[in-house]
A and B are shown apart, each in its own frame.
Chain A
Amino acid sequence: MYLWDANILRAFGQGHATLRSYLLRVPWSEIALPSVVVAEVLRGRCDFALKATPVEVPLAHQRLLDTQQMLSHFQIVVFDAACVTVMEDLRQRHRRRQRYADLMIAAIVVAGRHVLVTRNQADFRDVLPRAQLANWIDDPPEASLP
């Protein structure tokens, strides 16, 4: 399963051309979002909906619903009990300071033997093997898909 980091979801909303060429090659059933990214995106939309100025509130609430609808088209891989152990192991083995959400995402990827699709290779290079990292924005599909 290819798990998308938030920056790939961002590119999806932007209609990125390279991402489109991947989507034409990879079955949608092989693509999912980690529950961490879903939580982050919904938190952002909820914050906007609850903290917007009165004039912005209609837009903010519409965007919350739009985003929720978009996310409903994705499969979601949940951070489950197995991921807790993996995450703890990753924290022990990689002393370099990691970002908390990145570690949670890496744990989901390792526990489920998935491939993480992200533009942010730098923050995952230490915790994930090269074979479990992909960049569908900067690398052409001919070079990275089997």
Chain B
Amino acid sequence: MQYTLILTEKPEGGIQVTIPALPACTLEAATRDEAIRLAREAIAQLVSRSEIVQIEIPQQPRATGQPRGVPWEWFGAAKADPTWDVLFDDLEQHREATRDVE
């Protein structure tokens, strides 16, 4: 398995090693070669003591729509829309047309 190492030169000298896949594992070394060697050893040691376990967290599906608060941006949004009234007039006609069916 390959690990990415970030080797950062420190202002006061030496190299800081960061391993993104193992954020708790940080090292310091005097040289680049030593940094890589120490990182290799640290990773090997850590991996030999570790177990990878994957767990599944079931997501709680929300009820349809999430009630946060009144969507005031939509309140009165159709005031100037003549198709809004046509929509509901048609809807009423559709309902009325089913009265005889029942």
Seen from chain A, the residues whose Cβ lies within 8 Å of a Cβ on chain B are 6-7, 9-10, 12-15, 20, 23, 27-29, 31-32, 40-41, 43-45, 47-48, 59-60, 63, 66-67, 69-70, 72-76, 78, 91, 97-103
The yes or no answer to B49 lying at the interface (CB within 8 A) is: no
Report the separation of the CA atoms of residues A14 and B81 in the bound assembly, to the nearest whole angstrom.
Answer: 9
The yes or no answer to B102 lying at the interface (CB within 8 A) is: yes
Seen from chain B, the residues whose Cβ lies within 8 Å of a Cβ on chain A are 63-71, 74-79, 81, 83-85, 87-88, 90-92, 94-96, 98-102
- Given A48-B83, A63-B81, is A74 in contact with B65 using a C-beta cutoff of 8 Å? yes
Complex A-B: 28 CB contacts under 8 Å: A6-B92, A10-B84, A10-B85, A12-B74, A13-B77, A13-B81, A14-B79, A14-B84, A23-B75, A28-B67, A28-B68, A28-B71, A29-B67, A32-B65, A43-B94, A44-B90, A45-B87, A48-B87, A60-B83, A72-B65, A73-B71, A73-B74, A75-B63, A75-B64, A75-B67, A76-B64, A91-B102, A97-B102
Contact between A100 and B65, CB atoms less than 8 A apart: no
Contact between A14 and B76, CB atoms less than 8 A apart: yes
* A interface majority secondary structure: helix
Task: Note all chain A residues with C-beta closer than 8 A to B63.
Answer: 75
Task: Note all chain A residues with C-beta closer than 8 A to B95.
Answer: 40, 99-102
